[in-house]
Structure 1
């Protein structure tokens, strides 16, 4: 598998990486509207996330077992990577984000979390001496400016220092997702990393709920979306299969093909995807300024791509 990946021409690898990154961002973007429907029906955010990631782990586990082919030594060699991925990239991000929105507006918390690409660029610069070029800096500025417009933050929003601290924690977790996804020598299959991380992350969220850090509640009431209702298990299955299992596996594969920096900027499209899905499922109509923001995000991604080394 690794040999085939390296034998593929660079252009083909980049094209495949872009497709996988777009699929990952779109899948992640669907999670918010689906989870919102469940939470409006009485589910707590922590319960939705915990069930989502544990269900995804169960779905991906058989594929991971086949790819391991009995090479359990790979798990032993990469146990620290798997644990960090589960605790930081999965559980840490979700824990930080949901605690942030308990103290501040959702838009502000999401904006702080999605400054993660800047953190990735900074980490690669200071830790690995990968200094960003001028085009990367310009692309970063365009992407962040686009986020401001997509989120359409209005004046007068207030935020507590506690909420800001939690949102910064979510940002660190999101940055860790991209850095850790590209980490390692390539011997550990992406599905194995995803399975281990999802399992550890889900158990970590359950532990946080048991400790009283996050509220845990669920109901069997029908879930209402824009123009239709459905049984509670339908959005839950989509959350586990599409927005977690597919999203994490394609995200890891994309990051390994594109690198942490470029993949993290393409993931900004998740905000635009969430906006579109919210429009379709929740009736939250985007405003023209948000479409302009989406165009700036795409321009930022293209600019970062041109600024990446060959």
Structure 2
């Protein structure tokens, strides 16, 4: 009875963290768009986002300075895939194919996570998780109105699929150490060093020395209102990056990569709704319907019993709260 309560508590906390992460990630586009319209290159906005977050998390990295010697592959993988890879591949795809197509392909990640779990890790996948992925993908196609911008640029499609694969890396690597007991790497330390690695890689890609820094000292237009550009940048760094990654990684460790991946599809729905509310962008009937389908898919997926090896060891060791405490994590 106690173990069952611990599992439910851990699942509830994990879902809450996943939703916070989806909202935080989903708000990044709304805050970034006015900066881009004011003259900043999209890659420069991405660099500011990651580099700013890395600076905020620098004290955490110093605190866990032994981590690069203990888990160098994990940190390098998280930085290259979960941080730099997703951003670089997604923006590269946007330069060649429509936004809706790029988003849809990127959010094939939950389906790819299921494939990874089933065929690479050889762990069982529940029917609920599989059904949730199918519904979420179908609903997402409606949300992004993929039919309005069909384009088959091969390189663009490959970049978008690359973003999806990097997204898989985010979910799989976020789960690493979840059942390693006291030797588990601190998730905050992993995020801190991942952001540092990502910032270093994106510095080479984005070349920020050519950025128009004057934009950050002025105001930008947000649905007709003048807003300080620096305020939007602070939101992107603290909420859409630091808070989003921290809650996202913690949610994966309390749920499972496949369930957290489906819930993450809500990010596109939230981004669309926020664009409608804050930017005045039109929300069509198919988008509303698609958002509802994504919600149904996420609800079905979260009802799946996690495969042993993801959430079970946490519950069996006395609950997610004690497990995170053992890792030295301050949620």
TM-score (norm 2): 0.85
CA distance in 2 between partners of 1:144 and 1:162 (Å): 22
Using the TM superposition, name which of 226-235 and 29-38 deviates more.
226-235
Using the TM superposition, name which of 295-304 and 161-170 deviates more.
295-304
Give the equivalent residue in structure 1 for 2:75.
Answer: 82
Give the equivalent residue in structure 2 for 1:43.
Answer: 40
1:307–1:26 CA distance, 2 compared to 1 (3 A):
same
Q: Give the deviation of 1:96 after TM superposition.
A: 0.4
CA distance in 1 between partners of 2:79 and 2:175 (Å): 14
1:113 and 2:106 are equivalent in the alignment: yes
1:155–1:279 CA distance, 2 compared to 1 (3 A):
closer
Give the equivalent residue in structure 2 for 1:3.
Answer: none
**Residue deviations 1:220-242, cap 9 Å, x none?**
24211113111221111110000
**Residue deviations 1:125-157, cap 9 Å, x none?**
111112322222211111111101111223562
In the alignment, which of 158, 167, 171 is matched to residue 178 of structure 1? 171
Give the equivalent residue in structure 1 for 2:97.
Answer: 104
Q: Give the deviation of 1:7 after TM superposition.
A: 12
1:149 and 2:138 are equivalent in the alignment: no
- 5 Å-filtered alignment, 1:97-246, equals 97-155=90-148, 157-184=150-177, 185=180, 187-210=184-207, 217-220=212-215, 221-246=218-243
1:156–1:289 CA distance, 2 compared to 1 (3 A):
closer
CA distance in 1 between partners of 2:257 and 2:295 (Å): 17
1:156–1:283 CA distance, 2 compared to 1 (3 A):
closer
- Asked if 1 retains the 8 angstrom alpha-carbon contact of 2:49 and 2:237, the reply is yes
Structure 2: give runs of 5+ residues left out of the alignment. Answer: 307-311, 313-331
- Asked if 2 retains the 8 angstrom alpha-carbon contact of 1:226 and 1:280, the reply is no
Structure 1: give runs of 5+ residues left out of the alignment. Answer: 1-5
- Asked if 2 retains the 8 angstrom alpha-carbon contact of 1:223 and 1:232, the reply is yes
- Asked if 1 retains the 8 angstrom alpha-carbon contact of 2:98 and 2:149, the reply is no
1:165–1:246 CA distance, 2 compared to 1 (3 A):
same
Runs of 4+ in structure 1 over 3 Å off: 63-66, 215-219
CA distance in 1 between partners of 2:47 and 2:121 (Å): 34
TM-score (norm 1): 0.91
1:249 and 2:246 are equivalent in the alignment: yes
- 5 Å-filtered alignment, 1:33-72, equals 33-66=30-63, 68=64, 72=65
Secondary structure of 1:249's match?
Answer: helix
- Asked if 1 retains the 8 angstrom alpha-carbon contact of 2:108 and 2:137, the reply is yes
Using the TM superposition, name which of 34-43 and 8-17 deviates more.
8-17
Secondary structure of 2:303's match?
Answer: helix
1:35–1:161 CA distance, 2 compared to 1 (3 A):
same
- Asked if 2 retains the 8 angstrom alpha-carbon contact of 1:142 and 1:300, the reply is yes
1:24 and 2:28 are equivalent in the alignment: no
CA distance in 2 between partners of 1:13 and 1:64 (Å): 27
In the alignment, which of 281, 285, 291 is matched to residue 294 of structure 1? 291
Q: Give the deviation of 1:76 after TM superposition.
A: 1.1
Q: RMSD in angstroms over aligned alpha carbons?
A: 2.1
